[in-house]
């Protein structure tokens, strides 16, 4: 079975060029590049789209404008309407994750269709789709903007692709315990000189608590060296404030 092509993103009657640009940025972050616009309110191209795309110029440059949704998805074998369930429209309903699995399982071009920012897709738009994609969202605040909706679907689709992973940066190894003991000794000396251990009968308990906190962290050699510098600097500042050499 041949690999499924990436889904196209179709924005139906988008209202602001800025939102188109943000949607393009969301697409390219997760490897989608084919953008189709249906009757954009302010025409196309739109000067507000480029700055909002933040470098996703290839998506905007190749965007194609159509007069109707039917024309925009004419070459697509499966169409997903992103919306809440519409009254009077009976369609299977998927989550973004379920839709992504479905797209990867089909050897046809699929389309994710998004409606205008304020009103969403109309019932006639949804009727043209094969399935509905709805984002599980807080029922007390269901307010996704266009780019957020696009990025959710693009991200779920990208899980099935070999996109670049975040670089694996190894952590510095923990320092030898002796270095940590030297740091604790340094800190205790300065704290004692500053009168921190008061009242005296609490000193043992306070030292134990301090050691417990410091041994939790997994300090590296560079961490410990930095802390020595901080403690020494604070000590110098205290002496200077008292007029000591």
How confident is the model over 20-27, as a mean pLDDT?
Answer: 97
What confidence tier does 214 reach under pLDDT thresholds 50, 70, 90? confident
Cis peptide before 50 (omega within 30 of 0): no
| Percentages (nearest 5) of helix, strand, coil residues in the chain | 45, 10, 45
How much is the pLDDT for 239?
72
Tokens 């008292």 belong to 242
pLDDT in tens, 125-139: 999 999 999 988 888
CA-to-CA separations, 108 to 7, 44, 78, 245, in angstroms, rounded: 9, 28, 7, 80
Please, what is the Cα angle at 20 between 138 and 54, to 5 degrees? 100
How much is the pLDDT for 244?
65
What confidence tier does 237 reach under pLDDT thresholds 50, 70, 90? confident
pLDDT in tens, 98-116: 999 999 999 899 999 999 9
Residue 242 clears pLDDT 80, i.e. is over it: no
Is the CB of residue 31 less than 8 Å from the CB of residue 56?
A: no
How much is the pLDDT for 167?
65
Residue 158 clears pLDDT 90, i.e. is over it: yes
Q: What is the rounded average pLDDT for all residues in the chain?
A: 90
How much is the pLDDT for 164?
60
pLDDT in tens, 34-84: 999 999 999 999 999 999 999 999 999 999 999 999 999 999 999 999 987
| CA distance from start to end of the chain | 81
pTM for the whole structure: 0.70
């Amino acid at each position: 079975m041949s690999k499924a092509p990436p889904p196209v993103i179709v924005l139906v009657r988008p209202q602001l060029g800025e939102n188109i640009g943000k949607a393009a940025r969301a697409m390219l972050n997760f490897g989608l590049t084919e953008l189709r616009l249906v009757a954009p309110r302010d025409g196309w191209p739109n000067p507000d789209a480029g700055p909002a795309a933040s470098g996703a110029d290839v998506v905007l440059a190749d965007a194609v404008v159509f007069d109707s949704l039917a024309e925009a998805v004419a070459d697509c074998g499966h169409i997903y309407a992103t919306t809440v369930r519409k009254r009077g429209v009976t369609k299977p309903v998927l989550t973004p994750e379920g839709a992504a699995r479905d797209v990867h399982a089909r050897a046809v071009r699929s389309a994710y269709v998004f409606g205008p920012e304020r009103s969403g897709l109309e019932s006639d738009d949804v009727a043209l789709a094969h399935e509905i994609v709805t984002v599980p969202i807080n029922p007390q605040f269901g307010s996704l903007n266009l780019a957020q909706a696009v990025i959710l679907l693009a991200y779920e689709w990208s899980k099935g692709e070999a996109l670049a992973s975040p670089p694996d940066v190894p952590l510095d190894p923990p320092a030898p315990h002796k270095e940590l003991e030297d740091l604790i000794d340094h800190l205790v000396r300065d704290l004692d000189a500053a009168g921190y251990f008061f009242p005296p009968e609490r000193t043992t308990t306070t030292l134990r608590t301090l050691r417990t906190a410091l041994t939790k962290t997994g300090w590296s050699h560079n961490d410990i060296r930095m802390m020595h510098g901080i403690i020494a600097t604070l000590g110098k500042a205290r002496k200077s404030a008292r007029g000591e050499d």
